[in-house]
Chains A and B, each alone.
Chain A
């Protein structure tokens, strides 16, 4: 069950995992995610479905190591190992229609989750332009895969080491400013999605973002994932994760992401120490 069949390093701190999960693979749709747990003492963390293969019964997850759980996954889980739990697909699928001309913006590890959305939009008949951005060239991945699911790919890096120098918001601003953009999707860090939303709001173009609040169950049971959209409290895991970006209370989302900062730091430190002892 939930065996890691393939593991591949994509970029610094970013790994791609192909995991056996036939039931999830059969039902998956663009925009949905899974909740995974590494082992019996593990926590439940949400990860977006980057791809899936119903025939093979596998799903593809792309995970950036940022804290105890994701670092442990990167360091201690190899091909042949199994995750304790994978549940999904969770969340509402993206609303895919033929909108006309769509821009898909991905920041950092967001390249992976935007991939199935762009693919579905293209299959639905849209003209799809992708913008992928990262801090530097070493953090970029899947550009070949992304270019296959869109008509045009624009790449930016903060330091100019690859593609255009600058932030993803700059080409986005140009595209929506020139008109003829019917809808925008943005997936990435909260701050990046916030600024993409501001750009679109000014241009009057609808924007969909995929929110990443802290979650526990991922099925609507706990309310840990509550976000504020259009002044209303919504649950990220069941009402989302996608919401209209111009209606999101970003400051609240960003504040709530730091709810367990102290504990997260302590968990990572303890993990590092235990690992050091074990390998000493």
Chain B
């Protein structure tokens, strides 16, 4: 008989975890992982593979796992995914691999993400097998941005034997994995380990390099790089554009999370960067970023954290697990409300005036558009607000690279394989799609690596 439900994963008690930044789920034990792996039906058509943006051979890795062959399992995963410890933790599995799992039609789907996380952690503890580096080709490629897109692209370019230099604007590589997603959801040691692997493979890393300011894409091409991959992400915060948004106490989610994650403000004054959180905090938005900000605010000592979302729970784009975790920790959700202005006292935030919304006709995304209900305004007292309504593409590289076409949303125009309007310049991840997911950015990086490899061998080599 097959278990109807997933083997549960043990987690830190919500009452305790809101006082620390340690990871919430503990991960499976080998026994639990094997037990869960045995639930897989090994479907011939394996719909789960199609649900994964990088097409991991899921039944094959789970088969190894079910037999206790963890090394075999991780090898299968690494054929398609270089960052399984990260994806196992942060992929929105319910809309990807697990969302189409056959078992999920009648019971709970196989916990593919948790299994992937288990084998990746198992490998990290025992020593990671370096992916083989290809014979040197003599070509040099510059990777701009060190988020998941850049990381995935760099690994595969090394496998093909190209020399790779990765340029990162911040002082630490990793992109959103480092500055955005909090420690309690993705321990930074995991990200650092992935980056160390990359360096062991021979990728040269240059931090504090803002491409478009320190030097341009064209200067890289002139300096001996035959191709450039742009993976600069969607790091520009969006604000609501309502009055009072510049009061002290109103943060963008990026500022709030960067101070805490990248700069370790949660350990102020041991670390120099400060953060200030009031007794009552409102987070505006309904995605992963909003959940991360809300749960971070609790851990920084807020007594009450409210999430204000303009649609209903069903439309929330956040991972289900994050919503559940936030609720368990005491985050209070207010649906169908939207801030119309922030109220201040002596320059500091004191409250927010909101209006109630109702769902009207569907918009272009297919979700019903929220419309304000006239006269339904009300005021909530808060001392801190975090705006988490999404990020826009970073304009710096497009603005400083003549001939690089962008869409009307400011994203770089690129084909399926990442080729842009400029020869030798490729792009992928959030800078092409707009804010999306870790795994889709990785997938784009991998595809671009293949296209760059072909470009170098066919076009550039024939020119020489």
Residue of B with least CB distance to A271: B269
> How near does chain B come to A82, taking the closest CB pair, in angstroms?
13
Residue of B with least CB distance to A255: B347
Q: Given A222-B252, A223-B254, A90 and B272 touching (CB < 8 A)? A: no
Please indicate which of the listed interface residues A27, A43, A262 has the most CB atoms of chain B within 10 Å of its own CB: A43
Task: Assess the A256–B214 pair: CB atoms within 8 A.
Answer: no
Task: Assess the A259–B208 pair: CB atoms within 8 A.
Answer: no
Task: Assess the B258–A260 pair: CB atoms within 8 A.
Answer: no
Task: Assess the A221–B258 pair: CB atoms within 8 A.
Answer: yes
Task: A89 to B210: give the CA distance in the assembly, Å.
Answer: 8
Chain A interface main SS type: mixed
Task: Assess the A85–B213 pair: CB atoms within 8 A.
Answer: no
Q: Given A85-B171, A90-B210, A264-B274, A222 and B237 touching (CB < 8 A)? A: yes
Task: Assess the B214–A87 pair: CB atoms within 8 A.
Answer: yes
Which of these, B169, B248, B259, B396, contacts A255 with CB under 8 Å? B248
Task: A41 to B170: give the CA distance in the assembly, Å.
Answer: 15
Task: Assess the B248–A27 pair: CB atoms within 8 A.
Answer: no
Q: State whether the Cβ of B255 lies closer than 8 Å to any Cβ in chain A.
A: yes
Residue of A with least CB distance to B216: A27
B258 surroundings in chain A (CB, below 8 A): 216-217, 221-222
> How near does chain B come to A115, taking the closest CB pair, in angstroms?
21
Task: A158 to B66: give the CA distance in the assembly, Å.
Answer: 80
Please report the total number of B residues contacting A with Cβ < 8 Å: 39
* A41-80 with Cβ < 8 A to chain B: 41-44, 68-69
A267 surroundings in chain B (CB, below 8 A): 268-269, 272, 274
Task: Assess the A221–B235 pair: CB atoms within 8 A.
Answer: yes
Which of these, B237, B241, B276, contacts A260 with CB under 8 Å? B276
Which of these, B171, B246, B251, B395, contacts A252 with CB under 8 Å? B246
Q: Given A220-B236, A259-B276, A87 and B208 touching (CB < 8 A)? A: yes
Q: Given A216-B255, A233-B239, A260-B274, A87 and B171 touching (CB < 8 A)? A: yes
B residues at A contact (CB < 8 Å): 169-171, 179, 207-210, 213-215, 235-237, 239, 241, 245-246, 248, 251-252, 254-255, 258-259, 263-264, 268-274, 276, 347, 394-396
7 shortest interchain CB distances as A-B pairs? A263-B274, A255-B347, A222-B255, A87-B208, A43-B272, A223-B252, A43-B273
A residues at B contact (CB < 8 Å): 23-24, 26-27, 37, 41-44, 68-69, 84-90, 216-217, 219-224, 226, 228, 233, 238, 252, 255-256, 258-260, 262-264, 266-267, 270
